[in-house]
A and B are shown apart, each in its own frame.
Chain A
Amino acid sequence: MSRKQRLPFKRNTESNIQDERKYPAITNRVAENKATLQEVFHNSTDIKFREFQIPLQNVTGAFLCYMEGMVSEDSINLNIMEPLLEASQHLDNSSDEVMTFIKNRIVQISDLSEVTTTEEMVNGIMVGKTAVIVEGSNKILLINTIRYDARAVEEPDTESTVRGPREGFTEVLKTNTSLIRRRVKNPNLVFEDMEIGKLTKTIVRIGYIEGIAKEEVVKEVKKRLKSIETDSILGSGYIEQFIEDGKNSPFPTVGNSEKSDKVAAKILEGRVAIICDGTPFVLTVPFLFIEAFQVPEDYYSKYFITSFIRLIRVLALFLTVLTPALFVAAATFHQEMVPTLLLTTMAAAEEKVPFPVLIEALLMIVVFQLLREAGVRMPRPIGSAISIVGALVIGEATVQAGLVGAPMVIVVAITAITGFIIPVLNNPIILVRYFLLFLAGSLGLYGLLMGILVVIAHVCSLRSFGVPYLTPIAPVVLSEWRDFPLRLPIKFMKKKPHSTVETNKGDVSK
């Protein structure tokens, strides 16, 4: 009974919004149509009406309707108003209906359409189109005058590179699409739109290369997107949570990036990009575990260093997850494993500390987490002040105050620094770290090993849009090891990874 109840946010999706089907139909009376619009928009102040008369055979009443801030007013003035008011000059062939005449002869804008329902009209106005309503016509002209203020294309803060393209996505869907299209000039690159969110009506666009992306993945993406039922989509993070596979797993199974070159590369590897209007983060699926270790710069620089750095990243993952747990296990259960000299200095450091090692480790890791959170949420100038306090707190001071031993500071420092190396896996890293720390503190290395097995089993069980999460490690796909853990020279990288690429059809890149 109550067990079957769904999560609470689903219940709130029932909204008291006026049903769209109840909109009054469009009539051929200007005044009635205007009244309808005013009612639909509840006399909102950013809806602008401009009434005027068209000097045709018999002077006709008409009005424009648009949403302030979403349109280019210059364009309306020059390309719509001015020609309309001087319409009489064109008055040589008046056999056409007024609307057709305006459309064919007067308006100087390429993208326009005729609509006949209030719903279409309202939706058009909301995205920044201008509606032209003329007395005596059941049709309404929707002219594309969309223009709104947007951030310029900048280098993203989250993924900065030393070498390589710096263009990052913006909040504007059109710009983002063009950034990808500019990199992949191929007619097989397809974009498809859909609208998600009952209230926000966010446009979500998927992009893939027909013939490279696996058909079933594309179908699955569309199916999952269509099945999203929600009021609002305010960022690609919402979509990610709706469509991801492991909803109860901390491991990400949907990738995201702010860098256009990275997304282009993913699309070329047969992945599907999901661009959400209003967010600079573009999602890519399927997302594999190894992608967390791959950075665009890896492909722009020589393979020696890249391969080495890849290995360092793998090492960093293990260090950041295991260091505190290993230290606690060694210091409380397996003292015989520690070299004698190190054990002596560890014991010397612990001599004046009142807490068990596990409590010490927890204390330091939680303090670090707090400092980090404080630093991230604060504006820049205050953030630096916090890091100074933090350096003092987890540095000398705690040791001198006798709260923790000096080796613990090193352990936390290693954990913290290596934690920043793989930002993609940030969430699972933190959770797994605590999980293993508790196990190591209560059962020693035995517990730690059990914990690691549980985590590995969990990660192995994950899939991202049908592709096993740990490909090519498990299942082993040796041919894809050219890109993990090492990055082989570029001559070996010509082929596309075949766990994400459509293999039934010929490779269109040839």
Chain B
Amino acid sequence: MNKTICSVPAKIMRNVVLLLTLLFLTGCWDRQELTEMGIVTGIALDMNKETGEYILTSQFLRPASQSTVAPTPNEPFILISATGKTIPELMQKTNRNVDRNGFYPHNKVIIMSEEVAKSGVLHLFENFQREQNIRSYAWLAVAKGTSARSLLEKHKTSISSIPASFLNNLFMDANADAVSSNLLNFYKKALKKGESPVIAVLSIDEGVEMTPQTTKLSGGAVFDGDRLAGFLNERETMAYNWVKTKIRNETLGSYDFLSEDGSIVALALIDKNAKINPNVSKGSLDSFSIEVNLLTELSEHQPMKEFNENADIIHYLDNIEKQAEKKMKADIRHLTETAQKELESDILGFGDRLYKRYPSVWNKVKDNWRAHFKDLEIEVEVNVKIKNSGLIKGTLLPESM
């Protein structure tokens, strides 16, 4: 009767067993349970000035204190620092100091101190590309006037409880006076010959009476290759953004200037379009021309007068457009001069434009581009258009008695 007990043919049975072996004996090689990993949301790179070693500070999340059911009273994050020479070494040392394995794909920001930035950074980021453990969309910033680690501490003006998400939001809402750049942008420009990267700058304002200590994202850090060369102030950064940055967040911020009659005009920038063109004649480079077209809205002006006819309004707006053009032109010219003389970095990417438009001309100059760049002749043209003046007739005036 033995035969009837197992009615499944032996051959099928054998195949089934083999298939099951495949499933159960091989294991789940990169399986990682949520309770085994520590989610890292931000990292900071500092440098020990005496030994020249790097200090990596990682911000680990404490999920239990973020629980929707019964949050624990702990701080929702902890900072773990480790000292070492390479990124893999630092990450391993970090794992030694904390009871979870660092999980980096959710990292939002990479902050480096000025010292680290000055000593060159590409060799550090190489590991991120090789292991693909940090996304190229992580924001990249230089800490100005403070240590990188201090920026991962809790911020006084933060609404979200995790510093990394506070910083993330700063970058997302960055205005025209700040550069917000991610790792990928940095790679792209740093690895190219004809353009130097400009990345974000984070700093801490100590604050006075009314305004307490704040963390600020403004200005730009100019790199020469992968080494920090200097900083742009807010006015220069704005000019940089007009020429280089793609429009983001609906507005590019607002621009205000003193008009001829001494009143202040504020323009909201709503759209822009900029071109850099190399002018080449007979196979040699003459000059570059920058053309910036800005679409704006008049958001504030205090001229204290009323218009009675439409022609007056048009004339008035034309006048403001002309003045704005002049001011902006001066700003951009100032930026190019700073870049050429002071920073000696091709931040606007003239070399890259030349390479794309006239590769043969570029090939002639590329070897001593640095020297060429210093003495480049640059023409700037700005066109400002006021699209909307808020539909009020003149300005708001108090009725005189």
Contacts and interface: CB of A to CB of B under 8 A. Distances in A.
Given A348-B67, A442-B23, A343 B39 contact: yes
A486 interface: no
Interface string B187-218: 00000000000000000000000000000000
By size class, the interface of chain A is: 20 to 34
A5 B34 contact: no
A184 interface: no
Contacts of B9: 3
Given A8-B7, A335-B105, A344 B39 contact: yes
A207 to B, nearest CB: 38
Given A3-B9, A335-B105, A340-B106, A345 B66 contact: yes
By size class, the interface of chain B is: 20 to 34
Contacts of A442: 23, 26-28
A249 to B, nearest CB: 16
A333 B31 contact: yes
B7 A348 contact: no
Interface in B1-32: 3-4, 7, 9, 23, 26-28, 30-32
Interface in A356-400: 356-357, 399
Nearest to A346: B34
B229 interface: no
A357 B105 CA distance: 20
Interface in B53-100: 61, 63-69, 71
Interface string A233-276: 00000000000000000000000000000000000000000000
B108 interface: yes
Contacts of A7: 7
Contacts of B108: 340
A293 interface: no
B206 to A, nearest CB: 31
A8 B8 CA distance: 12
A345 B7 CA distance: 50
B28 A443 contact: yes
A32 B27 CA distance: 79
Given A5-B7, A350-B35, A351-B35, A343 B106 contact: yes
Given A2-B3, A336-B106, A443-B28, A347 B35 contact: yes
B39 A350 contact: no
B37 A335 contact: yes
Given A335-B105, A336-B105, A443-B28, A344 B33 contact: no
B202 to A, nearest CB: 20
Nearest to A6: B7
Contacts of B64: 348, 351-352
Contact of A332 (B32, B67, B69): B32
Contacts of B369: none
Contacts of A345: 63, 66-68
Scoring A3, A331, A340 by chain B CB atoms within 10 A of each residue's CB, the highest score goes to A340
Nearest to A353: B35
B28 A350 contact: no
Contacts of B105: 335-336
Nearest to B38: A347
B166 interface: no
Interface in B88-120: 103, 105-106, 108
B34 A357 contact: yes
Contacts of A3: 9
Contacts of A443: 28
A65 to B, nearest CB: 45
B41 interface: yes
Contact of B32 (A5, A335, A344): A335
Q: By DSSP majority rule, is chain A's interface helix, strand, loop, or mixed? A: helix
A442 B35 CA distance: 18
B59 to A, nearest CB: 12
Contact of B61 (A344, A438, A444): A344
A406 B69 CA distance: 9
A232 B65 CA distance: 65
Contacts of B41: 340
Given A331-B34, A335-B34, A347 B7 contact: no
B68 A347 contact: no
Contact of A347 (B23, B27, B30, B39): B39
A333 B30 contact: yes
B63 A347 contact: yes
Interface in B283-301: none
A349 interface: yes
Interface in B355-388: none
A8 B68 CA distance: 56
A348 B28 contact: no
A149 to B, nearest CB: 42
B69 A399 contact: yes
B68 A348 contact: yes
A351 to B, nearest CB: 5
A134 to B, nearest CB: 55
A340 B165 CA distance: 10
Nearest to B6: A2
A443 B106 CA distance: 22
A441 interface: yes
Interface string B221-238: 000000000000000000
Interface string A1-14: 01101011000000
Nearest to A442: B28
A382 to B, nearest CB: 32
A351 B34 CA distance: 8
B69 A356 contact: no
A351 B67 contact: yes
A282 B26 CA distance: 48
A7 B31 CA distance: 42
Contacts of A444: 28, 30-31
A350 B69 CA distance: 12
Contact of B63 (A2, A331, A336, A351): A351
Interface string A409-450: 000000000000000000000000000001001111000000
A332 B35 contact: no
A5 B3 CA distance: 10
Nearest to B133: A336
Contacts of B30: 333, 444
Contacts of A441: 28
Contacts of B26: 442
Contact of A348 (B27, B66, B103, B106): B66
Given A335-B106, A348-B67, A441-B28, 19 more contacts: A2-B3, A332-B28, A333-B30, A335-B34, A335-B39, A340-B39, A340-B106, A340-B165, A345-B68, A347-B34, A347-B35, A347-B61, A347-B63, A348-B66, A350-B63, A353-B35, A356-B33, A406-B69, A444-B28
25 contacts: A2-B4, A7-B7, A8-B7, A331-B34, A332-B28, A333-B30, A333-B31, A335-B34, A335-B105, A336-B105, A343-B39, A344-B61, A345-B68, A347-B34, A347-B37, A347-B61, A347-B63, A349-B69, A350-B34, A350-B35, A351-B63, A351-B67, A357-B34, A438-B23, A444-B30
Interface of B: 3-4, 7, 9, 23, 26-28, 30-35, 37, 39, 41, 61, 63-69, 71, 103, 105-106, 108, 135, 165
CB-CB nearest 7 A-B residue pairs: A336-B105, A347-B63, A348-B67, A348-B63, A350-B34, A347-B34, A2-B3
